[in-house]
Amino acid sequence: MDIKTYLSLKRQQVEEALDTLLPKPDNDLRLHLESLAYSLKAGGKRIRPILCLATAEALGREFAPQLMPIACALECIHTYSLIHDDLPAMDDDELRRGKPTNHMIYGEAGAILAGDGLLTFAFELMSQTDTSDLLPDRQRLRIIHCLAQAIGSLGMVGGQALDMAAEDKPISLEALQMIHKCKTGALITASVQTGAIIGQAAARQFQALTSYGNSIGLAFQIVDDLLDVEGTSAQLGKASGADAKHSKATYPAFFGIEQTRAKAQETIQSAIDALADFGPAADPLRELARYIYSRTN
């Protein structure tokens, strides 16, 4: 299979769905909704919804288009986290994916509210009940609970809090791994788990897929660290070397570039190994793991 064609096709499906989801009020709320749409449409690889789709398909289920709002909710959550992370009080970034960040266009208050709105909208999307024939209410609640835990104070939000606290301070490797796991890994794993619940994974399958998710979540962050050291701004769509600017701890800072590359490759292999019991339907997940690593070359 050609992963690039696969990703481009799925990405198009996700973006078409995203385009129709946000309400377009014909009143004073228009500008606020525009601020959500601005960041939601500012590109991005849509990896999290695609992981959700690909995981359901790995279990031999076609992903029903009626469930697309759940996959889109994952992208809303990711986008909210980027908007808040970019704020002046946080990482203070002016560019994201080559475009001005949300607060550069809509102001600080506007950006905080855009993030709040997207996070809330994600839960609105996940709690629709008009498709209970495709996804029983109990499984839908499981998804909401799993996501809320992954992105809350012991997950993504907590990871950002740790990251902020660690700025300009020497931290241990354990502390760095904890930050990565919470800040990036938790939502990646939850995206896979969401697909696993939709695909009606048995307990053992759910466990294997969770392990896959954990590994690619880690790989994702290691590769991001590498790109930040090696990459150009064009590849990143933001200023490279930003981590060094904020004196943030990174994998290359601990291990050097070569050992970090080896670590990334190892982690990708763990992800692929976790899928040993799955047939060819899981090939997109396997290729996705390899694709993450290929970004470093």
Instruction: Map the footprint of a copy of itself across residues 71-130, applying CB under 8 A.
Output: 84, 87, 89-90, 107-110, 112-113, 115-117, 119-121, 123-124, 126-129
Q: State yes or no: residue 27 binds a copy of itself (CB under 8 A).
A: yes
Question: Nearest approach, Cβ of 104 to a copy of itself (angstroms)?
Answer: 13
> Of 37 and 227, which has the nearer Cβ to a copy of itself?
37
The binding track of 123-142 with respect to a copy of itself, each residue x by CB under 8 A or -, is xx-xxxx--x----xx-xxx
Window 139 to 168, contacts with a copy of itself (CB under 8 A): 140-142, 144-145, 148-149, 151-154, 157-158, 160-162, 164-165
* Region near a copy of itself per CB under 8 A, out of 7-15, 20-28, 210-218, 220-228: 20-28
Candidate segments 5-13, 22-30, 58-66, 249-257, binder of a copy of itself by CB under 8 A: 22-30
Three-state SS annotation for the chain? CCHHHHHHHHHHHHHHHHHHHCCCCCCCCHHHHHHHHHHHCCCCCCHHHHHHHHHHHHCCCCCCHHHHHHHHHHHHHHHHHHHHHHCCCCCCCCEECCEECHHHHHHHHHHHHHHHHHHHHHHHHHCCCCCCCCCCHHHHHHHHHHHHHHHCCCCHHHHHHHHHHHCCCCCCHHHHHHHHHHHHHHHHHHHHHHHHHHCCCCHHHHHHHHHHHHHHHHHHHHHHHHHHHHCCHHHHCCCCCHHHHCCCCCHHHHHHHHHHHHHHHHHHHHHHHHCCCCCHHHHHHHHHHHHHHHCCC
Site for a copy of itself in 32-61 (CB under 8 A): 32-33, 36
For a copy of itself, the binding residues (CB under 8 A) are 23, 25, 27-29, 31-33, 36, 84, 87, 89-90, 107-110, 112-113, 115-117, 119-121, 123-124, 126-129, 132, 137-138, 140-142, 144-145, 148-149, 151-154, 157-158, 160-162, 164-165, 175, 178
